[in-house]
Amino acid sequence: MAQRIAGSHFVFDEWSRGSSALHRLSPRTKLVLFLSLLVITAVWPQSWLLFGLAFALVLAARLPLFGVAARAALVLPFTLVFAAATWLSGDAHRALALLWKSYLSALWVALLMATTPLEHVLEAAAGFGAPRLLIDVMSFTWRYLGVISEQAWRMRTAALARGGERSFEISASTLAVLFASSYARAERIHRAMASRGQKI
Amino acid sequence: MHIPDGFLSTPVWAGLAAVSAPSIGVFARRAQAGLQESRVPLMGVMGAFVFAAQMVNFPVGAGASGHLVGSTLLAAALGPAAATVVMTAILAIQALVFQDGGLLALGANVFNMAIAGVLAGYWPYRLLAGTRARRIGIFAGGFLSVLVSACLCLGQLALSGVKMRAEVLGLAMLVFVITAVLEGAITVAVLSALERINPQWLRVETRKNRPVLTALAITALLLAVAGFMLASALPDGLERVAGLTGLEGKEFHVLQSPLPDYEALTLENPWLRKAGAGLVGLSLTFAVCLVLGRWFVRWRSA
Amino acid sequence: MSCIVEAAGIRFRYDSGFEALRGVDFRLCAGESVAVLGPNGSGKTTFLLHLNGILRGEGQLRVCGMDVEPRHFAAIRRKVGILFQDPEDQLFRPTVLEDVSFGPLQAGLSKASAETRAKQALAQVGIHDGWTRAPYHLSGGEKQRVALAGILAVQPEVLVLDEPTTHLDPPARRALLDLLATLPQAKMIVTHDTSFARALCPRAVFFESGRIAADGPAEEIIRRFRWEI
Amino acid sequence: MSCIVEAAGIRFRYDSGFEALRGVDFRLCAGESVAVLGPNGSGKTTFLLHLNGILRGEGQLRVCGMDVEPRHFAAIRRKVGILFQDPEDQLFRPTVLEDVSFGPLQAGLSKASAETRAKQALAQVGIHDGWTRAPYHLSGGEKQRVALAGILAVQPEVLVLDEPTTHLDPPARRALLDLLATLPQAKMIVTHDTSFARALCPRAVFFESGRIAADGPAEEIIRRFRWEI
Ligand SMILES: Nc1ncnc2c1ncn2[C@@H]1O[C@H](COP(=O)(O)OP(=O)(O)OP(=O)(O)O)[C@@H](O)[C@H]1O
Ligand SMILES: Nc1ncnc2c1ncn2[C@@H]1O[C@H](COP(=O)(O)OP(=O)(O)OP(=O)(O)O)[C@@H](O)[C@H]1O
Ligand SMILES: [Mg+2]
Ligand SMILES: [Mg+2]
């Protein structure tokens, strides 16, 4: 009924606390750097040459090459479907370009996230003018993502443990109760923030 | 439906980023206006909730299952402006941390799912929530939000020159329609269960006449339909549009003066020409959005 | 001898790579009550979730004479009643009565007899009204009682309770103690409340970093690990 | 006499219409430690939430010489540190250090001095490194200590703790007891764990259906209401 947020989803969190030169670079600089690399990848037909640079950066940041490459590969399922469709319509060249372009782009993002804690990326984005509200919401969403999906998993476990079968209706009422409980949690968080003197 | 980087041509992703960024600014300001402080943790936790909810499978028989997307649910619980901001937060986290959707394509994904998806999901709900056809409104909301996002996504891919055969396209449409029906059904089921627990959570706006949002919603719908028709009718749509509007010629002049050394390159490289066209479009849209945004703020405060 | 739970060499690793169980050997026989003690994070909850196949690690595990395998899950889940650590997770239906009658309904009872069963179970834990309240509005102690009723309504052969007393006030805790003492089922009770453990369980096992470090009389184990509160 | 908390006739009704407080009278003076006992659902948590104006009912309430009114909220919230039941809800910032320095920052300190303050508070609860860890990597006991540090960093005059020992194993519970005993602030401790209450608080109040039914020496109250676990 519910998949589980795997611990591997938090792997960036571990990697990003490293201490290489790339890790120490200011988050704003890195954001600009990787956005530029993304744009170059998007517009330069020969940008596959940049694969070398990407892997060099992974090694320079003392990150596990295979691990980062595997993270970026998460993009492939979607890409493969469309690459296949393009191939079928007779454009093999473009199909190939779709594959490497999306993979290279995913590598850049993975590199950014593997060398910069999310909260720093968010601060940098705020520095460049992203709306404060959006940044705050992202920060909370990220913080409670694990907590609430873990709870979803445990609710499903509880249903199974009492002999529940997978069913549409049970999933729906589970979600409704999860919503209720999340609502109550938001209320409690707000209370905790107010109690610690959050400015109004 | 999260478009990765590398799929969209520069004009498309840049143009959509230029539309989405200021729109989110406007929505954020809107959501913040009259925002009690308690709404920030609420929005954040609801983001996490939708994330978790998207992982809960809904079995539909024959071993198949679907899951909630959540735009309509969010819009019903938080109102459209806050829902848009929350959906944007979710999409951004998916792009950054889960490699689900690209970072340059974020503008496009936000446009498809957070802006068009939420508005398309909210309006049927808003219109019918107070009436006896409440459930129909909810279903239509869920259905439309997914379908509109999907059509926009396909349209943008086609506009970027990702070619698809008619059969493949038909198959994709079929999948999208099924997903959309499922989203409608799930949203109805979850909202009904929620109503039994505490009806106060689902807001039906009492304030009337919001011309801007209505206009935006209708535009989104029209865009979706137009985008899709364009996609299926014109495989290399953008060039045609550029040709029709005469952009093809103009962009050349714009590019020529600041970069004389690259003149030959510019002439010969169609991708640079496209990028140029994109930049022009980008600046134009950005300007339009800024003006619209300013006007909107002034209109709000007046 | 026929044992209800027979576990040998259970190992389990979470997706994050953390090895939460590193070879657990354990037996529980009919009518026995065992206290499961051990520090935070030692793997107690993880082990419980193996008993009805919710988590599946390596090793040999038989419950009520059946291997814990997908084809036996339905039968096993009717025989093993697990109360989770946080009652919030267990209450997944919109009202108290619906929640408690969920188990009996799944076991194939009619709606009416499932509700009768549920009301009996609720009465057992001291809840005599408020059946249509939404669980999320109850106080911590009330939630815990409803969750326990949900387990009792299934009439399982073994009760597995994960920290059942955390939010209960002393009279409710005593009532639970009395109730559990009268129930004939075998019991496994995870708890940090040693006086509760001692009152109910002659035997205790002590978890330490994913293994059972000791198994024996509760008194002795509590003394040996200085586990007195 | 100057009292930190002076409450008279506090009444409160939740939106659902339930009257959770029905006239609470209570005084707490500097340096005092009071155990707050009472059955599930008797209004203990609800009362705590009044002390810094998060819930507002009828009646007279003065904290540190100020009426609990919006214009004093900022000042009062700096003097009253509330530790809530679930530490997960209190650690809402991305890293431990940021979380603990949240309070001082809101109080207007510079980033550097807020972090110094936070590190002092973390040292007080026995955490000397791992400041950039994310809350979801912490164990239950660690979460609770970080949450307590977040309260201490604001240097409050009174500590209000809502069931601080749930889920802690006996050694962690002893460590918390020792830590709290060294803190000089006045304390209000809601708990169902009477031995914890007795070890820390000479005085106790007993809530019963939204009122304080008794106030006096902890020993006596525990005996009178048969509140022994
Ligand atoms: N979903 C998960 N992913 C990764 N690690 C986990 C997960 N759940 C638990 N763990 C880890 O496994 C270990 C054992 O956890 P478990 O919940 O079994 O401990 P416990 O003995 O029940 O502790 P407590 O007394 O605090 O309830 C802990 O270190 C915990 O951090
Ligand atoms: N948000 C709410 N809306 C409606 N009723 C509520 C709400 N929160 C609590 N209550 C009710 O108010 C009463 C007092 O709750 P409170 O949480 O103060 O009890 P408590 O003394 O802290 O109990 P416990 O020992 O179980 O924590 C309970 O009956 C509870 O059901
Ligand atoms: Mg546990
Ligand atoms: Mg309470």
Ligand with minimal distance to A188 CA: 2
pLDDT band at B299 (very low <50, low <70, confident <90, very high): low
Domain limits, chain A: 18-116, 131-195
The proportion of chain B whose per-residue pLDDT surpasses 90, expressed as a percent, equals 24
Interface probe for A, chosen from D76, D106, D136 (most Cβ of A below 10 Å), is D136
Instruction: Tell me which residue has its CA closest to atom 19 in ligand 2.
Output: D41
Rounded (10°) angle between helices A132-161 and B39-53: 50
Residue of D87, D154, D85 lying closest to D118 (CA atoms): D154
Q: What is the pLDDT of residues A155-182, one digit of tens each?
A: 888 888 787 777 888 888 889 989 988 9
Mean pLDDT in residue range D207-222: 95
Name every chain D residue with its beta carbon within 8 A of the beta carbon of A146: 136
H-only helix segments in B160-210: 166-197
Nearest-CB residue to B55 (from A38, A131, A149):
A149
Q: Does D77 touch chain A (CB under 8 A)?
A: yes
pLDDT value for A15: 87
Nearest-CB residue to D84 (from A13, A117, A188):
A188
Phi and psi (nearest 5°) for C149? Answer: -60, -40
Mean pLDDT in residue range B253-273: 36
Domain that includes residue C63, residue range: 3-224
User: Inter-chain contact C136–A177, Cβ cutoff 8 Å?
Assistant: yes
pLDDT band at D127 (very low <50, low <70, confident <90, very high): confident
Q: Does A120 touch chain D (CB under 8 A)?
A: no
3-state secondary structure of D23: strand
pLDDT band at B66 (very low <50, low <70, confident <90, very high): confident
Name every chain B residue with its beta carbon within 8 A of the beta carbon of C89: none
User: Inter-chain contact B52–A105, Cβ cutoff 8 Å?
Assistant: no
C229 occurs within a structural domain: no
Q: Give C101→chain D minimum CA distance, Å.
A: 24
- Choose between A82 and B209: higher pLDDT: A82
- Choose between D28 and A87: higher pLDDT: D28
Q: Give C134→chain B minimum CA distance, Å.
A: 6
User: Inter-chain contact A155–C92, Cβ cutoff 8 Å?
Assistant: yes
CA of D174 to the centre of ligand 4 (A): 22
Residue of B127, B135, B99, B101 lying closest to B7 (CA atoms): B101
pLDDT band at B238 (very low <50, low <70, confident <90, very high): very low
Mean pLDDT in residue range B229-248: 45
List, in order of start, the domains of chain B with CATH numbers.
Answer: 10-15+24-301 (1.10.1760.20)
Q: Which amino acid is at C223?
A: R
C-alpha to C-alpha distances, A182 to A149, A189, B49, B118, C79, nearest whole angstrom: 11, 10, 7, 21, 32
Q: Does B200 touch chain C (CB under 8 A)?
A: no
Structure-token pair, residue B70: 């959540």
Which chain A residue has its CA at the smallest distance from B9's CA? Answer: A42
Whether the predicted pLDDT of B248 surpasses 60: no
Whether the predicted pLDDT of B38 surpasses 60: yes
pLDDT value for B261: 31
- CA dist., res. C57 & res. C49, Å (int): 10
How are strands ordered across the β-sheet holding C3-13?
Answer: C19-29, C3-13, C58-63, C66-67
Lowest mean pLDDT among A116-120, B100-104, B218-222, C67-71: B218-222
D229 occurs within a structural domain: no
- CA dist., res. B167 & res. B162, Å (int): 15
Q: What is the pLDDT of residues B167-183, one digit of tens each?
A: 888 888 888 889 999 99
pLDDT value for A173: 86
3-state secondary structure of D29: strand
> What rounded mean pLDDT belongs to chain B?
74
pLDDT band at B82 (very low <50, low <70, confident <90, very high): very high
Q: Does D136 touch chain A (CB under 8 A)?
A: yes
Nearest-CB residue to D150 (from A118, A140, A196):
A196
pLDDT value for D223: 94
Chains that touch A (3 or more CB pairs under 8 A): B, C, D
Whether the predicted pLDDT of A9 surpasses 80: no
pLDDT value for B37: 65
Name every chain B residue with its beta carbon within 8 A of the beta carbon of A3: 55, 57
CATH classification at residue C25: 3.40.50.300
The dihedral region occupied by C183, where left means phi > 0, alpha psi between -120 and 50, and beta the remainder, is: beta
If one residue of A150, A153, A156 were mutated to test the ligand 1 pocket, choosing by the most ligand atoms within 8 A of its CB, it would be A150
Whether the predicted pLDDT of A125 surpasses 80: yes
DSSP letter string, chain C: --EEEEEEEEEEE-TTS-EEEEEEEEEEETT-EEEEE--TTSSHHHHHTTTTTSS--EEEEEETTEE-SGGGHHHHHHHEEEE-SSHHHH--SSSHHHHHHHHHHHTT--HHHHHHHHHHHHHHTT--S-TTS-GGGS-HHHHHHHHHHHHHTT--SEEEEESTTTT--HHHHHHHHHHHHH--SEEEEE-S-HHHHHHH-SEEEEEETTEEEEEEEHHHHHHHTT---
Q: Give D149→chain C minimum CA distance, Å.
A: 20
| Regions in chain C scoring below 70 on pLDDT | 1, 16
Nearest-CB residue to C170 (from D171, D196, D228):
D228
Shortest-distance atom of ligand 2 to CA C169 = 25
D61 occurs within a structural domain: yes
User: Inter-chain contact A17–D81, Cβ cutoff 8 Å?
Assistant: no
Name every chain C residue with its beta carbon within 8 A of the beta carbon of D228: 170
pLDDT band at D128 (very low <50, low <70, confident <90, very high): confident
Which chain D residue has its CA at the smallest distance from A193's CA? Answer: D90
- Choose between B37 and A66: higher pLDDT: A66
> What rounded mean pLDDT belongs to chain A?
86
Instruction: Report the domain count for chain C.
Output: 1
Lowest mean pLDDT among B35-44, B150-159, B220-229: B220-229
Lowest mean pLDDT among B157-166, C6-15, D157-166: B157-166
8-state DSSP, D3: E
C187 occurs within a structural domain: yes
Name every chain B residue with its beta carbon within 8 A of the beta carbon of A94: 161-163
Which chain C residue has its CA at the smallest distance from B193's CA? Answer: C94
Mean pLDDT in residue range A77-100: 86
pLDDT value for B9: 87
Please indicate, yes or no, whether the overall pTM of this predicted structure exceeds 0.80: yes
ipTM confidence: 0.87
Q: Give yes or no for a contact between C206 and C216, defined as CB atoms under 8 angstroms apart.
A: no
pLDDT value for C212: 95
pLDDT value for B208: 53
Name every chain A residue with its beta carbon within 8 A of the beta carbon of C14: 7
Q: Does C134 touch chain B (CB under 8 A)?
A: yes
Q: First vs last Cα of chain B: how many Å apart?
A: 39
pLDDT value for A108: 95
If one residue of C22, C40, C47 were mutated to test the ligand 1 pocket, choosing by the most ligand atoms within 8 A of its CB, it would be C40
User: Inter-chain contact A118–B51, Cβ cutoff 8 Å?
Assistant: no
